[in-house]
Amino acid sequence: MHTLSADGQGHFAMLAFSLLVSLSFFFGHFIAPDIDPGALMALRFALATVFLLAVLKALGVPVVLARFWRFALIGGCMAAYFITMFEALRLTTAVSTAAVFTLTPLLAVCFGWVLLNQRTGPWVVAALLIGGAGAVWVIFRADLEALLRLEIGPGEAIFFFGTLAHGAVPALVRRLCVDVTPLQSSFATTLGALTVTCVYAFPALIETNLSSLPQRVWWVMAYLAIVTTAGTFFLLQYASKRLPGSKVMAYTYLVPSWVIFWEVVALSRWPAPAIFAGILATIVALLMLLRGEARV
């Protein structure tokens, strides 16, 4: 990525981010009934913390925990996102949950304006509204009557609050982590997420019988800890220091398309044709955001 411009590096990081996150929805849907989401998140954050600490030590990078409250705040936002995601996956489909996630760019713009005074031009606003409309269409399963009655499923409603927390992350990273590298902040943020999650999920952790968990839970947990947690924390914070929050989160628009791709390839499962109108809108929104950089 060193041959790319700073913006190019940020875009490349977020493309990888969208791919890795989509697999979280895909894999998570299979193990959601097997373990309490809070306990799962505590275990994955513990594994990710150990992994990132080993990477820091191997590279000779010092650990930075000064003003730990900032890492706990950012980590708490990420923990809320992951816990509500797995709660939602117990109640709804992976595609529908991923569609809720695509509301993140619109929320990121709001947080960027409030916390960083970042200005957003009409082209970006139009793209976000198109993407948001596409996401809503998928969330309501292409049912116009359900949309008019605002009949949103419980899983989607739960995950919206996690998405709200996730939307604040780029602005918080840019404001609070200017004195640390992405790798240092990734470790500290993961440790913060672990701390917050252990407090929240302590009863569930005590009740979880680790020896009785299916093998698939451990495989998915390893992926979530090393790839999704450590990897995406790094990619998100790396990109957040190079791109505005709206562009960082624009790549979430790719996630439902990736999820559909995995389901078609692995399960031969196609969504209802009407759903594709919403998916198309999210892709149009992404292209508008990427092609309209000069207009922001």
Q: Who contacts 164 (Cβ-Cβ below 8 Å, separation ≥6)?
A: 107
Q: What is the mean pLDDT of residues 246-264?
A: 80
Using the predicted structure, report yes or no on whether residue 264 has a pLDDT greater than 80: yes
pLDDT digits (tens, 9 = 90+) for 105-134: 888 888 988 888 877 788 888 888 888 888
Whether 69 has a pLDDT exceeding 70, the answer reads yes
- Say how far apart CA 2 and CA 11 lie, in whole Å: 13
Predicted confidence (pLDDT) at residue 293 exceeds the cutoff of 70: no
- For residue 249, CA distances in Å to 14, 80, 109, 168 come to 8, 17, 9, 10
The amino acid at residue 7 is D
CB-based burial of residue 262 (10 Å sphere; 0-12 exposed, 13-18 middle, 19+ buried)? middle
The per-residue pLDDT for 66 is 93
pLDDT for the residue numbered 98: 82
Give the pLDDT of residue 273. Answer: 84
Please tell me the predicted confidence (pLDDT) of residue 184. 92
Report the distance separating Cα 237 and Cα 246, nearest Å.
14
Q: Say whether pLDDT at 150 is over 70.
A: no
Categorize the per-residue pLDDT at 68 as very low, low, confident or very high, splitting at 50, 70 and 90: very high
Q: What is the mean pLDDT of residues 72-96?
A: 89
- What number of CA atoms fall less than 13 Å from residue 226's CA on the CB side? 8
C-alpha neighbours within 13 Å on the C-beta side of residue 210: 8
Return d(Cα 189, Cα 76) in angstroms, integer.
8
Work out whether the CA dihedral 3, 294, 240, 80 comes out positive or negative: negative
Average pLDDT over residues 21-29: 85
At residue 67, the pLDDT reads: 94
State whether residue 111 is helix, strand or coil. helix
pLDDT band for position 60 (cuts 50, 70, 90) = very high
Grade residue 267 by pLDDT with cuts at 50, 70 and 90.
Answer: confident
Q: pLDDT higher for 289 or 278?
A: 278
Q: What does the pLDDT look like over 178-235, one tens digit per residue?
A: 899 888 998 999 999 999 999 999 999 899 898 899 999 999 988 888 888 778 878 8
- Over 90: is that where the pLDDT of 162 sits? yes
d(CA 98, CA 23): 10
Instruction: Considering only residues 121 and 1, tell me which one the structure prediction assigns the higher pLDDT.
Output: 121
Q: For the chain, what is the mean pLDDT?
A: 85
